[in-house]
Structure 1
Amino acid sequence: MSAAVPTFRQILSETTLIINAHSRHFLALTILFILPVSFSAVIFSSLLHPTSIHSHYQKSLYFFFSASDNTPQTLLPIIYILFVYSFPICSTASITYSTFHGFYGKPVEFIDSMKSILSSFFPLLATLVVMQIIMGLIMFAFMGLMLLVHHSVNSLFFVLLIAILLAGVLIYLQSEWYLSNVVVVVESRWGFSPLKRSSYLVKGLKRVVFSMLIFFGFFVVLLSMLCSSLVANGGGIEGWLSWEVVLLTIVYTGCLTIVSLYSIAGNTVLFIHCKAMHGEFDGEYVSLPCEDEKVPYVNVV
């Protein structure tokens, strides 16, 4: 017998219960791996001089290619790119592991979460590379198609149409692969296997997956844009002397950190429900912690 289809609100509620029950544990992981990335989204823009390029990723590429004769200036973006890729992988591995064990009422130890990074870092990296290659090839194909229709009579219409189709394909793939990182950590798979596994698990729950994708994606993009505009309007390092900028930096960084934490933990909770939906039960009952530290049992069959 399969379990009932979970709602988006249920996923968030159960995620909150798990995080609150192990608040100090998740706080430590958040401060160690998520907060530095969130904060760097603000301060890195202040370390770079061009004000016309707002995205820190674009700035990294800009300085990498334009300052090849200046080693210190070129080294900074390279270090930052390595930083924004390695720390999210560490947070994904440790928080996914902790949430999965916390859902079933198992002990959640900091040392074990750190060990999960050692076993999952390179599989997560390999899976990320596979995903990026597939998406890169798709984008390359669509860009080639755009170039073919560029000189046609209705070129603008076809370019917009192709752009919309490309966005649709990328969103579809994101929803299909939404649980791939959880599969890597929990089931010790990597490469193409987690992508296929995720596509199977999300069947029947596309509405919930799409809701989570839009919800978390919207806030991450919005907060990232606010962080970038904050630095641009603040006038770089000098603007940081203003208490308004300091306050907004704390608010934006804190919100982005919380959203990232709930996104990773929520994906893990969704993964467990997807397994139950497909009849893959780890036991007749699963336990969820609640805020008063009592452990009620929830029947999932």
Structure 2
Amino acid sequence: MLSGVLSDSKRVVAAHSRHFLALTVLFILPLSLLLLFTPSFFSPPRSLLRSSYHSDPLPYLLAGVLCLFLLAAVSSISASTHHGFFGRPVHLLPTLISIPSPILRLILTLFLPTLLLIALLFLAPSPLIYAPILLLSTLYFIVCSLIPIIVVLESTWGFPPFHRSFHLLTGMRCAALILNLSFSFLLGIILWVFNSSVGFNYEIRSQGVRDIVRTVLGSAVSTVMLLYLIVTNTVLYMYCKALHGELEAEIVREFAWDYVSLPFDDHKVPHIVSVSHP
């Protein structure tokens, strides 16, 4: 399953490389730079901790901008991956025009869970609370990792995407857990390494050159990781629909007069969907 998801993700990106490159430059590259140069989101400066009455609004503003870039990336890339998966043409301008509506649905759906997670992080009385937070994050990867994709592609919001994700991931939860935890772990390691400049302090003595290398390498690697995280989750959504036999009706509806064979084989998914109409 994982091999099929990864290979089809690579196929979709390669088939529309210019389109995904444009979306990456517009949304994921700024997101990567913000993640790379704003460690204050996770460990505020000491000067902010000394005063409980005065706080700098800049980190909160940057956090809002980061969230907007992330939602725009999820909206545009998941929709483009869905079109590319079926071999339909993708165009940049219609993709950009369609972004605001999915962003609004994503905000309405993910606002309360995100607010709860942030409250647990900042109101934690001791580091012992991090264990339940880690457990909740793991459960999210198992049960709810398809929620953003469902919100964008199925034009739904609120509580139905949670139930829908739980249903679709039946039989694929292990694959979803391994896929998302692997990408998240690698992305976290990359951000930690390039934020702390590990490995650059001794090999490169010049501070300016060290900063340039850190920026270029860190943003490039994290950008690729974020792109494939969104693409693979979208392809995983298609695999889950095929596993539950939900793609036949969609193919009949969209390709009623063509012969269609999905890019699955016997080793990737147990359902091969093909439709032929005279």
TM-score (structure 2 length as normaliser): 0.80
Deviation of the 1:62 alpha carbon: 7.1
Query: Which residue of the partner structure matches residue 58 of structure 1?
Result: 43
Deviation of the 1:174 alpha carbon: 2.8
When the two chains are superposed, the root-mean-square deviation of aligned CA atoms in Å is 3.2
Q: Counterparts of 1:187-198 in structure 2 under 5 Å?
A: 187-198=154-165
Matched, 1:283 2:277: no
Cα contact 1:124–1:181 (8 A) shared by 2: yes
Describe the superposition over 1:117-153 as per-residue Cα deviations: whole angstroms up to 9, x where unpaired. Answer: 121011111112132245468x59x968x8xxxxxxx
Matched, 1:85 2:67: yes
Figure out how many residues of one structure are paired with residues of the other and give that number: 254
Query: Which residue of the partner structure matches residue 174 of structure 1?
Result: 141
Matched, 1:263 2:244: no
1:300 to 262, 273, 276: 273
Structure 1: gaps (5+ residues) = 1-6, 45-53, 147-158, 289-297
- Equivalent-residue separation in structure 1 for 2:37 and 2:130 (angstroms): 32
1:216 to 160, 183, 188: 183
Q: Which letter does structure 1 place at the counterpart of 2:187?
A: V
Query: Which residue of the partner structure matches residue 184 of structure 1?
Result: 151
- Equivalent-residue separation in structure 2 for 1:168 and 1:66 (angstroms): 33
Cα contact 1:180–1:198 (8 A) shared by 2: yes
Task: Tell me the secondary structure at the aligned position of residue 59 of structure 1.
Answer: coil
Deviation of the 1:37 alpha carbon: 1.3
Deviation of the 1:268 alpha carbon: 0.6
Q: Which letter does structure 2 place at the counterpart of 1:59?
A: P
Deviation of the 1:19 alpha carbon: 0.5
Query: Which residue of the partner structure matches residue 150 of structure 1?
Result: none
Query: Which residue of the partner structure matches residue 23 of structure 2?
Result: 29
Higher relative contact order (CA 8 A, sep 6+): 1
Deviation of the 1:202 alpha carbon: 0.4
Taking structure 1 as reference, are residues 68 and 300 closer, same or farther at Cα in structure 2, changes over 3 Å only? farther
Cα contact 1:130–1:191 (8 A) shared by 2: no
Task: Tell me the secondary structure at the aligned position of residue 188 of structure 2.
Answer: helix
Q: Which letter does structure 1 place at the counterpart of 2:14?
A: N
Q: Which letter does structure 2 place at the counterpart of 1:88?
A: L
Cα contact 2:142–2:174 (8 A) shared by 1: no
Taking structure 1 as reference, are residues 66 and 27 closer, same or farther at Cα in structure 2, changes over 3 Å only? farther
Task: Tell me the secondary structure at the aligned position of residue 90 of structure 2.
Answer: coil
Taking structure 1 as reference, are residues 112 and 172 closer, same or farther at Cα in structure 2, changes over 3 Å only? same
Deviation of the 1:80 alpha carbon: 0.7
Deviation of the 1:300 alpha carbon: 3.1
Describe the superposition over 1:76-121 as per-residue Cα deviations: whole angstroms up to 9, x where unpaired. Answer: 2232111111100000000011000010111101012112212101
Query: Which residue of the partner structure matches residue 172 of structure 2?
Result: 205
Q: Name which of structure 1's ranges 57-66 and 216-225 shifts more when overlaid on structure 2.
A: 57-66
Taking structure 1 as reference, are residues 166 and 63 closer, same or farther at Cα in structure 2, changes over 3 Å only? closer
Cα contact 1:60–1:77 (8 A) shared by 2: no
Query: Which residue of the partner structure matches residue 88 of structure 2?
Result: 106
Cα contact 1:60–1:78 (8 A) shared by 2: no
Say which structure is richer in helix.
Answer: 1
Q: Which letter does structure 1 place at the counterpart of 2:148?
A: N
Deviation of the 1:21 alpha carbon: 0.6
Cα contact 1:64–1:78 (8 A) shared by 2: no
Q: Counterparts of 1:63-78 in structure 2 under 5 Å?
A: 63=48, 66=51, 74-78=56-60
Describe the superposition over 1:35-65 as per-residue Cα deviations: whole angstroms up to 9, x where unpaired. Answer: 0111122334xxxxxxxxx553333897499
Deviation of the 1:69 alpha carbon: 5.1
Task: Work out the percentage of aligned pairs sharing the same amino acid.
Answer: 29
